Structure 1
């Protein structure tokens, strides 16, 4: 597989001292102890751990360079319709969601209360304006590069991760290892779970940068787009949300990996002042136990032994659904929408 003038090739060579020597042998009343050999083997393992991280970083660079050609992209428009109660926040409107959004904001409570009331007023006015609801879906589908890159990633992860024999040796020697689930295939690495999770987060960020790198251009020449959205919003603790000015709130749906979240964000063009976004791009990228309600707080999760393993999955072909409003007086002006790369 190649992209422009680049080609990618994998090579694996394995040398395991553990298959050549035992470090301790008993002989009656005495015992031999191969301390120098054991020490050399441990140094080699540390070198392998460092090289593993370098190989992962290089793999991330390759993936990032191929992302623009990884999927075919399609824009699908539904017929305009009147906004329903669900779009307007459901029973009780946006009051619960706005309150939850501002619940943990620190500072002068009088000012915070004023901001909360203003946000609720703006959202309610927007959702109840004399407008039509337009829904567009951006689908990402497989092309000739998708399977090739996926195969390359799996081959590379398999080449640089621990083999089954090495994993047994690590367990026997009491060495730590971490588990990584890539597209429902498990790999075991020499680096810590924190390091693998950090690498995986960078991988997810790269995919989200690609997925959100677009503008919608209409027949009037207007460009509609948004900035700042990332996968961290999926599992962000409530008190972290107000730090992001382009991010407003999530609808009060119950938490479930199987139920997509709708987000209300600030955008530009027809996505202004607000629009709704449903993210069905990448599944959970870190697994947490049922007692953890702070999945974006990695340090907290480690302290409480909540992190089990890192994961990268696409359970379905990626897509995002965007809902925005066009004033009733302007709807007749629009006849075409096209998706283009932002850069």
Structure 2
């Protein structure tokens, strides 16, 4: 059995626990921000990490705590890494004992951090480990249940000091993802973002489209000599297309439809939705109406990016 398996018998644990009581409350909205995900092995840390990645966090799994201070220096308000999430747990073995000292160092450096602790019942953890047929990291020469109980005792006081404790015993992976989102997503963070893409049917429907709209009911500007060389982003073409009876209403109602789906997509954990708007060649009608749908969605405060897949391809 490894030395770490006997960690509860060492003199280091009392200091580890006592130091947690001295953690000061950090000011809110301090940059950089670090989220520490810890807890019982098998309680859902991998799913939590994947959810955080979807929310734009830079996630590092199984990071030795001593490296947290160094990683915090990479976070800047204008940099590519602004929110760092680190999965820290007993897999890092003796390094885990350094966690409290590192947290004090982070506080002294004005680095804001939070701790999310994931837990589950012993029975559920046994079931999960048996389903994947892997040993517990603290099992050693003992049984699976002994390893789980050893880990629970090791982390008992850390669980009590965590900012958020999530019991995943009766949660599906989707329920856990929703819990993580509700705990870390900011009020201003876009819940669902749309990509509105114009395309030409003659080049094929986009494979990644969630919705496909056919705007070939609008007369084709290609047959107007003054408009043929222009595209749907040019004002003469846009005005021609949107002034056709039913075109502006179509864009309005389609934007209303998409806006009404946001809450459902959020609940089902689908943060990215692609809407494909097609005409024959993807140059005039689809471009103009895709731009109009995007504008209407932005007016509703929905995150949108607009792409024109086949523009310039003719």
TM-score by length of 2: 0.25
More strand by share: 1
TM-score by length of 1: 0.23
